[in-house]
Amino acid sequence: MAEELNNRSQNILEVIVEDYITSAEPVGSRAITRRHSFNLSPASVRNVMSDLEEMGFLCSPHTSAGRIPTEKGFHYYIDSLLQVRDLSKEEETRLQSSYRFKDMKMEDIMQEVGRVMSGLSNYTGLVMAPKFASTVFRQIEFVRLSHGRLLVIYVSETGLVQNKVIAADPSLTARDLEQISNYLNREMTGLSIPKVREKVARELKAERIRYDELQKQALELSREALQEEAEDLVFVSGTSLMLEQPEFSTPDRMKRIIRTLESKKALIELLDRSQMAQGVQIFIGSQSEHTEIEGCSLVTASFSNKKGAIGTLGVIGPVRMPYSQVIPIVDFTAQLVSRILEREAE
């Protein structure tokens, strides 16, 4: 539970956080009395700031009289002081017009979402496509590669494409593979991946499979193709915008944030954590075991359709992020992508 602060302390913490978000500079008592109408002297403001520092909400980055919020201060601000207004209809229309989804494949839509969120927020946009196990089977194709190897192309009902290379009987002809694809597409379309796996296991145990070699091979190939989780698809847009932030201006911090965005491991963990939650989630760097994202905040929301295809999108930036602007962008975009998934699933 957040510590209780009196109204004066709350008001001063709020303006320090918001002034720091704007300027990226320590905030002093004189600046507060000049910019904000508190009817307090600089000495009174300094006393409150000292109390907030003693409680761990503020810290002094160097010998200047200014203070900056700690992560504890940002947490309190987000949990207790932040006011996020709903977008007006005009703002929703303008935001929606920023996206160009016409005639796009689902993978391209995911990339477009990340690009637009990055452009609107001036931070890095992230989109994690629906997990493989949550998708619904639409189509599967097999393409022969070298001797005994096949490329499996799986297409979900929402249009996401997953590729995988598997071992196969080298005697299978192109005609065999076409018949196998046709059989699986006829039998499995519209089933979730867990349901496909159940059906394949059940069919392979059936007595009649012994007398239909091609059908048996079709089921075995599909079992091989769909038995493992595919790698999470994460689209990252606007990496360079992170490097423009003063928090990441040193070479060491630049290298660390670039490695994090390229490897995606820490991002996937946080996106996973937010996937089953309702509404917008905010993660501050120290909430993760990954030190690579210290100094960063991640604002996320999940999207889905009625059949349960769940993905996550969000914006990553410095802890000094204008949350009141970023949260509505992320929230509305998640709703927009959910509507697209609903339409594709019809």
User: Which pLDDT does position 263 carry in this prediction?
Assistant: 76
Instruction: List per-residue pLDDT tens for the chain, 346 residues long.
Output: 457 899 999 999 999 999 999 998 999 998 999 888 888 888 999 999 999 999 999 998 876 668 999 999 999 999 999 998 888 888 888 888 888 888 788 888 899 999 999 999 999 999 998 888 778 899 999 999 887 899 999 998 878 888 889 998 888 889 999 999 999 999 999 998 889 999 998 888 876 666 678 888 898 999 998 886 666 788 999 988 888 888 888 888 888 888 878 877 778 888 887 776 778 999 887 665 656 677 889 999 999 877 666 789 999 999 999 999 999 999 999 999 988 887 765 6
Cα distance between the two ends of the chain? 44
Q: How far apart are CA 180 and CA 175, in angstroms?
A: 9
CATH code where residue 164 lies: 3.30.390.60
CATH code where residue 16 lies: 1.10.10.10
Q: What are 160's strand-pairing partners?
A: none
pTM (two decimals): 0.81
Q: How far apart are CA 147 and CA 251, in angstroms?
A: 48
Residue 164 forms part of a structural domain: yes
Do residues 73 and 107 both lie within one domain?
no
Residue 312 forms part of a structural domain: yes
* Tokens of residue 321, six digits: 């992020």
Do residues 118 and 155 both lie within one domain?
no
User: Which pLDDT does position 132 carry in this prediction?
Assistant: 80
Q: How far is CA 311 from the centre of its chain?
A: 8
Number of Cβ within a 10 Å radius of residue 62:
6
Q: How far apart are CA 115 and CA 38, in angstroms?
A: 41
Q: Please name which of 56, 114, 83, 116 lies closest in space to residue 322, comparing C-alpha atoms.
A: 83
Residue 29's identity, in one-letter code, is S
User: Which pLDDT does position 1 carry in this prediction?
Assistant: 43
Do residues 158 and 187 both lie within one domain?
yes
Q: How far apart are CA 280 and CA 313, in angstroms?
A: 10
Residue ending a domain, choose from 64, 81, 98: 81
Do residues 189 and 292 both lie within one domain?
no
Residue 287 forms part of a structural domain: yes
Do residues 222 and 245 both lie within one domain?
no
Residue ending a domain, choose from 182, 207, 226: 226
Do residues 125 and 138 both lie within one domain?
no
Residue 1 forms part of a structural domain: no
Residue 2 forms part of a structural domain: no
Tokens 């660390």 correspond to: 256
Residue 214 forms part of a structural domain: yes
Residue 186's identity, in one-letter code, is R
CATH code where residue 316 lies: 3.30.450.40
Q: How far apart are CA 284 and CA 318, in angstroms?
A: 9
Range of the domain at 47: 7-81
Residue 28 forms part of a structural domain: yes
Number of Cβ within a 10 Å radius of residue 159:
17
Residue ending a domain, choose from 58, 81, 104: 81
User: Which pLDDT does position 113 carry in this prediction?
Assistant: 93
